[in-house]
Every structure is written in structure tokens, then in C-alpha cells.
Amino acid sequence: MKNKNGLFITIEGVEGVGKSTNIETIKQFLADQGIDFIVTREPGGTIWSEQIRDLLLKVNDDEDLTGLSELLLIFAARAQHLDRLIRPSLAAGKWVICDRFTDATYAYQGAGRGLDRSKIAELETLVQEELRPDLTIILDLDPLTGLQRAQNRAALDRFEREQLEFFEKVRQAYLDIASAEQERCIVVDASQDLEAVSSELLIILEEKLSLLQQDD
């Protein structure tokens, strides 16, 4: 759905693709253009949603979290995030830059965990209604390289402890989504050096801004 006011941009990718670093490039571009924006993340973004994030990422060797429980927690956090931050920001004319959104749910819980996509789609409709991102940038990287990067950052969270096969499924799901929704999704090769990735991001954003200005 085209948002009449602010623009909704999501950044996706497996662990270690450099989302946080490249979001800084996006922030600088928007600031230089004088565009009012917020940066947020999923799960998270609000007080309650961040608490749910903590539950989802926490390593607990005493009890596994079931795939369905994980899915419901993610959408609970998303419902709060949408109502308290994303929708009001878009309505106020702000651009919303979100580190992961529902594509991550299809990739991680759908492909990675093997949950039925139709269940995810039902929850997507219930929680989001017609709201979808205007632009999704998928930072693509070989999962092995991404995991090696993640291991160098800090202690691994519950997701980062998954096996390589899990992340290979996640990556393929992202590529499948990009192939199916080419008008919304753009894939960027995150194995390039930072300068090359930043240059691609700037081109993408400049083209998007140019199209919006033409529409005005």
C-alpha cells in the first residue's frame, strides 16, 4: 500500500549483513535532504515491544520456545509497535526506517522454523491490515560470512545460535520474496566493501525520492 504521508522503508537480511552500519548511511542521506524521519527496529521500537524482544533473544537452556509461541510474540510486539510508533509517525508525515519487519517473519519463522506461511499471512492481515512497506532493501550475504561477522561482535543471542542450514533457508526466503515483489524489494550485495554498499543505497534512495517528487 502506498502511504499517503510518510514513507515506510524496511531493511532486511540475515545476521552480520551490516544493517546497523548501513542504516547510518540512510540516516545521513535523509538528514541532508531535510526529511523528517525516525529509525526503529523489530522486534522492538516501544517499551512493551522491546521487552518482548528481550524474551525472544534471551538464551534459555532450560526450556525451548516453540515456533508458534515465537511467532505470536513477534506479532504481539509488532501490533504494539505499529499502533504506538509506526502508524502515528507515518500519519505525521515522517519517513520510518525499520530494521526488519514482516519479511523477516516469513524468512525466519516461515522458512527457518518451517511454520505454515498461511498462518503468518493471517496474522499479517490481522495486525497490519493494509499497511505494507513502500520500499524494502534486502542486504544479501552468504550466511557463513554473516555468522562469522556476528561471532566477532558479542555473545550470540538465541537466533544467532542457530545452525548454518537455518540461515541458508532464511537467506533463500529473502531472495524468493525479492523475486516475487520486485516493485517493492531491492537486493544489495552486502559482501562488497562498505563504500560500495553505501553508494548503492544512496542511488536507491535518490531514485525513490525523485519518483516521489514527480508524483507531487
How confident is the model over 160-194, as pLDDT tens digits?
889 999 999 999 999 999 999 999 999 999 999 99
Q: Residue 55 to residues 66, 84, 133, 165, 191: CA-CA distances in angstroms?
A: 13, 20, 26, 24, 31
DSSP strands (E only) in the chain:
8-12, 37-41, 95-99, 135-140, 185-189
- The 10s digit of each residue's pLDDT in 99-156 is 999 999 999 999 999 999 999 999 999 999 999 999 999 999 999 999 888 777 777 8
| Average of per-residue pLDDT values in the chain | 94
- pLDDT one-digit tens code per residue, 40-98: 999 999 999 999 999 999 988 889 999 999 999 999 999 999 999 999 999 999 999 99
Three-class secondary structure of residue 159 per DSSP: coil
pLDDT for the residue numbered 3: 43
Q: Report how far residue 173's alpha carbon sits from residue 24's, in angstroms, rounded to the nearest whole number.
A: 26
Contact 146, 16 (CB under 8 A): yes
Helix (H) or strand (E) holding 172: helix 164-180
Does position 1 have pLDDT exceeding 60, yes or no? no
Backbone torsion region of residue 13, taken as left when φ is above 0, otherwise alpha when ψ lies between -120 and 50, otherwise beta: left
Beta bridge partners of 177: none
